[in-house]
Amino acid sequence: MAFDDMSYEGVWKLEPLSEAVLLILVSLAEQPRHGYSILKNVEEMSDGRVTLSTGTLYGALRRLLEDRWIERFKEEESSRGRQAYRLTARGRQILRTEVGRLKHLTKLASLRMAPKEM
């Protein structure tokens, strides 16, 4: 499902992101990372609950690259010249919208769950 409608409403209409993809995007939002670093960061962020295998990670990365949510570049600081990944403007906007959606849901749930004043 390619994503072309970049408006807020357009993004909002789509289904929520899967947890694995959301964590990959959050991991890349902080700084560009290479494959192993993404795996470790996702594990850390989810307290070990989400453990991606190498095959799953690269399936996701390939898909995100094709949808132009992320881009690949050669790390210059690394002596080995490893490939690293970073968010594109489109990826950042989708992440921002998803976070907005989650915030809205959390706020709504907190309001509904709060004990009613007598």
Partner 1 sequence: MATLSRYLLYLYPATHRMEFGEEMSEVLRERQSEFGKRGALARWILSGREMGGLLQGAAQEHLRAAKGLYSWEEFPIRRIRMRTEFRFPKATPVLMTVILGAVVMAIEKARAIQLSVPPSHQQVPPIQSANFTVLPSFALLFVMGCVVGAIAWAVAYALRKSGVQRLEELKAGRKL
- Least distance from C-beta 12 to partner 1, angstroms? 13
Binding mask 73-102 for partner 1 (x = CB under 8 A): ---------xx-------------------
Decide whether 79 or 118 has the Cβ nearer to partner 1: 79
The DSSP H or E segment spanning 71 is strand 70-74
> Tokens standing for 20?
């694995």
Decide whether 31 or 56 has the Cβ nearer to partner 1: 56
Q: How far apart are CA 45 and CA 114, in angstroms?
A: 28
Q: Does 104 bind partner 1 (CB under 8 A)?
A: no
> Tokens standing for 68?
């132009």
47-66 residues near partner 1, rule: CB under 8 A: 47-48, 51-64, 66
Instruction: Provide the pairing of β-strand 70-74 with 83-87.
Output: antiparallel
